[in-house]
Each structure stands twice: as C-alpha cells, then as structure tokens.
Amino acid sequence: MSGAVAAHAAYNGSGTQGLAVTNKIHDDDGDVMSVFWNKNDTTRQLLYGSSIIEIPSSGASTIGFGGSRLFTVNNDIDCLGDMYLEITGALPKYLIASGPLALTQDPKAFALQTFINRIEIQVGTQIWQTIENSDLRVVNSSEMTSDSFAETSFLTTPSAVEDSTTAWVVIPSLTKTLGPHFNKFTNQTEDGYPMAAAPHQSVKIKAYFRDEFPTEIHTAVAVDASSSTPVSITTQEDVPIQYTVTTTRALSVGEKIGEQASGSAISSCKLYAKQQIMCNEEREQMKAMPMGLPKRLKMTQNSYTSDLGSSAIKTIELDHFSLYASHLIISGNAGVSAAGVDVKLSSVELKLNSSSFSGQLPGVLLDSCTSDSLGLYSNKYIYGTGTTDDPIKVDEFGIGTYVFPLAATAFSGSSVPLNRFDSIRLTLTFTSVPVQGSSTFVNVTCVGETTALFRGGAASLAMY
C-alpha cells in the first residue's frame, strides 16, 4: 500500500480526523474546501504595481556632522512602503599622543550607524514619529532575519583600513515587516502609508546627523608599568573605535592616549523607498469614502534616561507612551560595577495603574525566548577572533537587548492600548549597582500601532 493512501484507508469519519476532513461533498457543506482548487485559485487582487525608487532630497538640507538631510516623497506615489537610508562616511583615526605606546584600533559593531542621531517622519506640518538612534538598532535587530542582520552588521562595521564605507539602514516606520514572504494570493498584504487617500499633504523624512567625533580620546584606566599585555581602553560609548594598547609604562588616570590622525566625514546620504501604484478604481474609492479611511500604521515611541541612580533598581516613568503596543524593547549602557564587572539586567517588571502586568520577568528570558514567542528575532552581534583563547565572542552593546511582551504575537489583537492607563512604570533590576558615568543610559522603545484617518484629502492621527 502506498503511503499516500494510508489516510484514506484509515478514514472512518470519527475522531479528530473525522472532525477535520470528509470524503463526501454535500450541498450543505459550505465550509468544506479542496486543497487543490481553492480560494487561491479563485480570488483576484486589485491591480497594482511596485518598484523601489530614490526619494529626492531638498537642496536646502546639508550633509555633515551636526546637520540634517531632508527628503520629500513625490505626490504621484499611491502607497509609500519600506524605506532604506544609504549613508557613506569615514570614521576618525587616532594616534598615540606621546610615549612608547603601540596602538591598534578597530571600529565597533554598527559603527557607521552612529552617524545618524535621529529620523523624523513628517506628514503635512506635523511630526508623526521620531526614531532615535537606539530605536533604529533595536527594532531592526528584532525584525530582521539572521542573514539580513549579519549582512547589516558587516556593512555598518567597516574595516579599520577603509577610508570610506557605505552602509544601509532600514527605517522601521509605517510598515510592518513581519510575515512570510511567500504567501499565496489570499494571504498577501501590502502595508504602508496610503498617499492616494491624502494627496494634498506632503510626506517628508528628515535625517539628523550626530555631532562631530571628539578630536582627543582620554582614558581613566591605569595600566601596570610592568605589563606588556594588550589592554582594552574604554572610551565614550558613542566613539566607534576599539583600542588595544601595548605599553611598558603606566598610564596615568585621565591621560590622553589619542588624537585624530585623520578626520571623520559624512560624504553622502540617500533615501530609497518602495513605491506602489494602485489602479484608478481603488484610488478613487479611497478618496470617496464618506467617513474617511482608517488605516493602522506601525509606530514607535521612545524614552531615554541617563540618570541610573545609585542603586541596583531603577524605575522609569513611561506615562507618555500611548500606542496600541505589542512589546517594549529595553537597551542601553549601565557601564560596570565598582568591581569592574559589566552590568546587565537581572529582571524587569511593568506596572499599569499600579497593577503588575507580568510580575518580575528574568532578564535571561527577555534576552531571547520572548522574541521567539512574539514572532520576532533576537539577533546578536557574534564574531570570532580566530584565536584559541577567544574563538567566538558575543558582542552586545551595553546591557544587551531585552524584549518585554505586551501581546501574544507582535502587532496582534492582544496588544495593549497604553493611552488608557494614567500610570505606566517600568522597574529595572540590574545585576549590580551601576557606576554612573557620562555614557550610561537606558533606552526604552515602545513598538506598536496607531490609527491614521484619511479624509478630505488629508491625514491625521485619529487614535492610539
């Protein structure tokens, strides 16, 4: 007997199999379908076209540290989809200022991405979304597949010998990037901002660049005078350089170890986006809806605090979060403890109107398992040095990236409308008391959706 007929031979119309399938077709069996000829063969989509184009920049914007770049989306686009920012620049190179010291330097992971300070999405005269640098990193690391994340980390981490590097950054705004890419007709969706429903408003994307890198680097690490072992020098977190210093003398605390041998620069910034063109019938129907077109859009909100306090517990107020939120992403840098050990997250607790949402969730759980539960990814920057002592190393920025779930799956109907709560408190418990410094901070990214109402040729944020 062929294995293909085993299910037929065992069928008796009862049990779980009897509830799932039948071998008879009756007129009243409206819920019975064929897997060989089904809705994927009988359902039609409204005609549309799609391509990736460059979004032109405004001549009034400038490229350079402390500057910005403004892009205006053409009004002839019916739906604005995924957006990609291309940035080209050079990192600073440093030299030892004085003394018999040998210096090697390598860019940190995602060094080129530090050129971007924040990105604003503007509709008409209103800023709809502000995406901070930390938001770019953590949202993309949770939504990219492992191969896409690996390619992004490779492109944004240039070699120390390269004078100029080009990298891509996905802008996590307006569109949801989740879901299988090989869906059949009936399960396909095209998410984005429907400009056809608001043709009288302009859409602009503005990228702000970071301030210039410091021309001098100082260290607060003293090295034993008899040591000739390479020593890692910790500098400011926003300086994308990793130092290894070999010395035969002691470094004084606060001694200058480097000054720029060559300057950094931003030479190019371009924006590309998926444009989609609808058929006339769909376009006109969107414009003619008497009550307007409500459209759910992906959105993020941000909370940044640099004051970590003087204990191992930090409570952050998130009352301004108002999205229909599916998860929070916690990241940052808590530095090291007084004993010199890296500080991570031990546990996290969220309270809505003083009621605990999930109790205390351990940091180890939020570091990996919760992402998978939500349908997200928990990508980490992993590399090998090729040495016996350190063949593989996981290099996470600061405390790491922790995903706190508010829903069963990302962007699902089980998300929580945070605007309905007057008090939102997030309590972080660290593995030890962090030593407050100039580069210590905690960033909380709220990820969810908001609803825009397209009516009368214009769009407005109708509800959260």
The letter for the amino acid at 462 is: A
DSSP alpha helix (H) spans, 57-181: 133-143, 146-155
Question: Sign of the CA dihedral 25, 31, 36, 41?
Answer: positive
Buried b (16+ CB within 10 A) or exposed e, 402-439: bbbbbbebbbeeebbebbebeebbbebbbbbbbbebee
State how far the Cα of 88 lies from the Cα of 270, in Å rounded to an integer: 9
Please report the pLDDT score of residue 27 as a whole number.
64
Please report the pLDDT score of residue 117 as a whole number.
93
Please report the pLDDT score of residue 152 as a whole number.
85
pLDDT digits (tens, 9 = 90+) for 275-329: 999 999 999 999 889 899 999 999 999 999 999 988 999 999 999 999 999 999 9
Please report the pLDDT score of residue 422 as a whole number.
95
Buried b (16+ CB within 10 A) or exposed e, 255-293: bebbebeeebbbeebbbbbbbbebeeeebeebeeeeebb
| H or E element, residue 391 | none
pLDDT digits (tens, 9 = 90+) for 161-200: 677 888 889 999 888 766 667 777 777 888 899 999 999 8
Please report the pLDDT score of residue 225 as a whole number.
45
Please report the pLDDT score of residue 96 as a whole number.
62
The letter for the amino acid at 274 is: K
- This prediction has a pTM of 0.88
> Percent of the chain at pLDDT above 90?
47
Q: Tokens 């891509």 appear where?
A: 168
The tokens of 203 are what?
């859409």
- In this prediction, the residues of the chain whose per-residue pLDDT falls under 50 are 220-222, 224-232, 386
| DSSP symbol at 23 | S
Q: Pick from 76, 174, 78: which is nearest to 122 by CA? A: 174
> Domains along the chain?
47-288 (2.70.9.10), 290-464 (2.70.9.20)
Centroid of chain to Cα 455? 31
Please report the pLDDT score of residue 229 as a whole number.
47
| DSSP symbol at 140 | H
Please report the pLDDT score of residue 247 as a whole number.
55
Q: Pick from 452, 464, 358: which is nearest to 421 by CA? A: 464
